[in-house]
A = this chain, B = another copy of it.
Amino acid sequence: MQRKSFGSMSCPIARSLERVGEWWNILILRDAFAGLSRFDEFQKSLGIAPTMLTRRLNGLVEAGLLERHPYSERPLRHEYRLTERGVDFQPVLLAMLAWGNRHFAPEGESIMIVDRKTRERATPVLVDRASGRPLIGPDYVVVAGPAATEAGRQRIPPGGRSLDPARRSGASA
């Protein structure tokens, strides 16, 4: 699986995209989280061509998001399970779910997250684990890390770049 590479490879987002950038990959992961694990389960669920599914599955295995586990010898058959790296991808999926629900669900939500007991709807927000404060707001900033390139470093203003939409020129009143 030959990987596409972008100009700004030093960016972790670009690096992530190299692994999950293809259209199907994210949907396969979504289904893996839904508990699917066998080739034909994915195929039925996604309506994807088998040859494509093979390629995407192999890609995800190579990228370390999925693991093959044999469940039958003779003939050798395996199921695809999320690795820890794959499981870690869940926040991205949930963030996309929330965004899709918010902006592209004209007829209402088709999937939602609720409290297990009270059944109340949850609204996903990203916060800092330690402090519990929302990341998107005035309290946090993006800064260059130890592995940043000089070019990357220069794109970030001194003091860091705000994550607050209100401080973005053009956004909001």
- Give me the interface of A with B, judged by CB distance under 8 Å: 4, 6-8, 10-19, 21, 23, 26-27, 30, 33-35, 37, 45-48, 64, 69, 81-82, 84-85, 87-105, 107-117, 120, 122-132, 135-136, 138-149, 152, 155-156, 159-163, 165, 168-172
Contacts and interface: CB of A to CB of B under 8 A. Distances in A.
Contact of A141 (B18, B113, B139, B146): B113
Contacts of A165: 87, 90
B171 A19 contact: no
Contacts of A81: 169-171
Q: Which of A90, A110, A132, A146 has the most CB of B within 10 A?
A: A110
16 contacts: A8-B47, A11-B100, A13-B96, A13-B100, A16-B96, A35-B168, A64-B103, A84-B172, A91-B95, A91-B99, A92-B96, A108-B145, A109-B147, A111-B142, A112-B145, A122-B131
A53 to B, nearest CB: 12
